[in-house]
Amino acid sequence: MKKTMTLFMALALMVSVLTGCGAKDTGGSGKESDTIKIGLNYELSGNVATYGQSSVAGIELAIDEVNKDGGVLGKQIELIKVDNKSDSAEAANVSTRLATRDKVVAILGPATSGNTKGATPPAMQNKVPLISSSATDDDVTVDSNGKVREYIFKTCFNDSFQGVTMANFAFNDLKLKNAAILFDNTSDYAKGLMNSFKKTYPSLGGKILVEETYQAKETDFKAVLTKIKSTNPEVIYIPGYYEEVGLIVKQARELGIEVPVLGGDGYDSPKLLEIANKDSLHDVYYTNHYSPMDTAPEVVAFKEAFLAKNGKDADAFNALGYDLAKFLVDAIDRAGEANSEKIKDALASTKDFKGVTGSLSIDENHNPVKAVTILELVDGEPKFLKKLEP
Amino acid sequence: MKILNKKNILSILAILIVYAIVELLTHLGVIDSYIQLNLILIGINIILAVSLNLITGFTGQFSLGHAAFMSIGAYTSGIVTAKLGLPFIVGIIAAAVVASIAGIIIGIPTLRLRGDYLAIATLGFGEIVKIIAINNDYIGGAVGLNDIPQYTNWTWTYFLVVLTVFIIYNFIKSYHGRACIAIREDEIAAEAMGVNTTYYKILVFTIGAFFAGIAGALYANYFSFIKPDSFGFMKSVDILVIVVFGGLGSISGSIIGAIALSLISVFLQNIPELRMVIYAVILFLIMVYRPQGIMGNVELKLFNKKGGLNGYAGSK
């Protein structure tokens, strides 16, 4: 019995290895086909799978539209979708695979900064452009010596930009001089926002009274909120994700903290309203990539197309994914050839690309220059407040 | 026994031939960077699994903190090579030493605990390491440490895997190794027979941490980016799964487990929707039909002609 089992296992292993080889062969031979291959390196499983899946839904919609209109350069676009398990080493693995096996001309993704950094070295080595639509961390496109990473691009603004915008908004628009900060210290994203807010706000003349932290997955924030309340801030900056922010705002209002709450794009989810309730979500302002209330024709068209295809309303990740795919197609078109090197040059020279999330140009650090939207929650519903051009 | 007997010479030859074949295929372009990456990943997993097997499989100390030692090694090597600009070999040695010091520090208080209690304590240790890394801005905090030079290659990985397997295999076959197996089988009996259980438990923990630190250094200097949550609780579980899958108390089992699970993961990249389901089903089937893991506690013939040396002496 033992022996047959061992034999069976050995066989199973052999088969898996062999089928793997077979799959690899077919992967490499499709080069002369008349499609342009684009790799998707996304978090389709694991702890941030929602971001990856949302981005991919947006990308697929965009590519469907492009293919329906005859593709680009007379060729159809073929998406090769690979999962990176929300793990940075796996993202490197997928990146290598897409570049060397599937021979894609460009890679889209991953959705988070950490995984994008993981996916970066193979893209650089294989000289394949890699573009993320939501890796907001500042050093994604620039290395620690301040040198720009040649093949890495992003189409979303930096974390620091959101923090700076909010500091300006709090000081100049809301005219509030005393702020408290409460941030998720397990999140690189929240830390990025917090750091730039902390730097900008005092330089404008504001004062940061207290700086407190929480950790993702916590549910009781009363202690830390009581502490914040005792310093009597006029405004609280809470960079973080909607799961905790919903609870924080709710508990803050219960404790009688009625001052405005400021945040970033992590607030953007219908779940925020489910977690906090309608009554507590007032005087909440956050920076975001786009406003679903925008009445520009391309935004309306996108929203309708997305609703028709997926049966639900588009969120910011969907919109960013959609723009990302269109942005790449635009670059391939301008490059005139489906060649990674030329696409990279075309990407770097993008000027005034019109997307759903606003028009964007790529600066010398491969970051986009684009407008940021500030939304206000009124009874739990996001209302478009203002759009700040860079 | 002579050191250069026929068996040893053959083993060394086999090791060198495998290395030469891979090098040759790399030069011929058969092994591209994708296969190479996966070979290195498998190598790192082998080091982690074999070193955890020493702690959990051979000495019977259930540890859920192995990723924490890896994390310490990764960060140490990251600091040494990226921040201080020293060569890779210094990074590897520093990683191994710092991780093993952590092994001693955590080992002395927690190894008084047994079974579940030890598992919880090591779990806590893993969280502590993660929280420290998150709150330390010098190493990037939650953002992670980026731009670590890419020194790890096939040669480094392969020879460090060989070194790990060689040392741990010989340790287990030594007087000390038998003492460890005695602790696993029955701690009280072992103590009664004069085995210094505390000493051996800490020794094993330190050796395990030493090699996990090396694996961490390889990881950091290959992927060039590390962040605290890459080495969380789930990473420890992943390593433990490899060990249990391959067989507790079998080094060749750990090697096969590391290879098999890495390959399965690679082949499932294309089907994200079913990836974790299939992975779970495979693990489930193995555990139902072969609860002792693929190899049980038997070594492959290539490694051990006698076989069954490390056998269980009855029920646990």
- Whether chain A has a CB inside 8 Å of the CB on B134: the answer is yes
CB contact under 8 A, B269 and A93: yes
- Whether chain A has a CB inside 8 Å of the CB on B285: the answer is no
For residues A249 and A225, the answer to whether their CB atoms sit within 8 Å is no
In the A/B pair of chains, how many CB contacts fall below 8 A?
A: 114
CB contact under 8 A, B142 and A125: no
Taking the alpha carbons at both ends of chain B, their separation in whole angstroms is: 34
* Ramachandran sector of residue A75 (left: φ over 0; alpha: ψ -120 to 50; beta: rest): beta
CB contact under 8 A, B294 and A114: no
Domain residue spans of chain B: 7-289
- Whether chain A has a CB inside 8 Å of the CB on B135: the answer is yes
- Whether chain A has a CB inside 8 Å of the CB on B269: the answer is yes
Residue A34 has pLDDT above 90, yes or no: no
CB contact under 8 A, A9 and B272: no
Higher pLDDT, residue B287 or A3: B287
pLDDT, tens only, B128-185:
999 999 888 899 888 889 999 999 999 999 999 999 999 999 999 999 999 999 999 9
A225-261 burial: b if 16+ Cβ within 10 Å, else e:
beebbeeebbbbbbbbbbbbbbbbbbbbbeeebebbb
Q: What is the mean pLDDT of residues A176-191?
A: 90
pLDDT, tens only, A339-355:
999 999 999 999 999 88
Between positions 152 and 211 of B, the ones with CB within 8 A of A are none
% of chain A beyond a pLDDT of 90? 56
CB contact under 8 A, B147 and A144: yes
For residues A28 and A87, the answer to whether their CB atoms sit within 8 Å is no
Of B142, B226, B266, the CB nearest to A186: B142
Q: Report pLDDT for B168.
A: 95
CA atoms within 13 A on the CB side of A192: 23
DSSP state of A266: G
Q: Report pLDDT for B302.
A: 57
Q: Report pLDDT for A25.
A: 40
pLDDT, tens only, A244-267:
999 999 999 999 999 999 999 888
The chain-wide mean pLDDT, for chain A, equals 87
CB contact under 8 A, B146 and A143: yes
Residue A3 has pLDDT above 70, yes or no: no
* Nearest chain B residue (CA) to A159: B143
CATH class of the region B7-289? mainly alpha
Quick check: do A34-157+297-370 and A159-288 share a fold? Answer: yes
Interface with B, mutate which of A51, A191, A211 (most B CBs under 10 A): A191
Q: Report pLDDT for B314.
A: 36
Q: Report pLDDT for B301.
A: 63
Q: Report pLDDT for A32.
A: 54
Residues of B in contact with A9 (CB under 8 A): 290, 294
Residues of B in contact with A93 (CB under 8 A): 34, 37-38, 41, 266, 269
Cα A152 to Cα A41, A99, A141, A161, A345, distances in angstroms: 14, 14, 6, 19, 11
Taking the alpha carbons at both ends of chain A, their separation in whole angstroms is: 71
Gap from B150 CA to chain A (nearest CA, Å) = 9
Helix (H, G, I), strand (E, B) or coil at A206: coil
- Whether chain A has a CB inside 8 Å of the CB on B219: the answer is yes
- Whether chain A has a CB inside 8 Å of the CB on B294: the answer is yes
Q: Report pLDDT for A21.
A: 41
Domain residue spans of chain A: 34-157+297-370, 159-288
CB contact under 8 A, A45 and B135: no
Confidence label for A158 from pLDDT (cuts 50, 70 and 90): confident
- Report pTM: 0.86
DSSP per residue, A7-51: HHHHHHHHHHHHHHHHHHHHHHTGGGSSEEEEEEEE--SSTTHHH
In one-letter notation, the amino acid at residue B7 is K
Helix residue spans in A336-370 (DSSP H): 340-348
Of A96, A120, A191, the CB nearest to B143: A191
Residue A28 has pLDDT above 50, yes or no: no
* Nearest chain A residue (CA) to B37: A93
Interface with B, mutate which of A54, A88, A125 (most B CBs under 10 A): A88
Gap from B142 CA to chain A (nearest CA, Å) = 5
Interface with A, mutate which of B25, B26, B30, B34 (most A CBs under 10 A): B34
For residues B244 and B281, the answer to whether their CB atoms sit within 8 Å is no
CB contact under 8 A, B267 and A118: no
Residues of B in contact with A90 (CB under 8 A): 265
Interface with A, mutate which of B33, B225, B275 (most A CBs under 10 A): B225
Confidence label for A18 from pLDDT (cuts 50, 70 and 90): very low
Give the pair of three-digit tokens for residue A336. Answer: 């005139």
- Residue identified by tokens 């008349």 is A34
CB contact under 8 A, A23 and B267: yes
Average pLDDT of each block of 10 consecutive residues along chain B (316 residues)? 78 92 91 91 96 94 94 96 95 97 91 86 93 89 89 94 95 94 93 92 95 97 92 91 92 93 86 81 88 84 47 38
Which CATH fold would you assign to the domain A34-157+297-370? Rossmann fold (3.40.50)
CATH class of the region A159-288? alpha beta
CB contact under 8 A, B37 and A122: yes
Element (H, E) at A237: strand A235-237
Of A82, A121, A125, the CB nearest to B270: A82
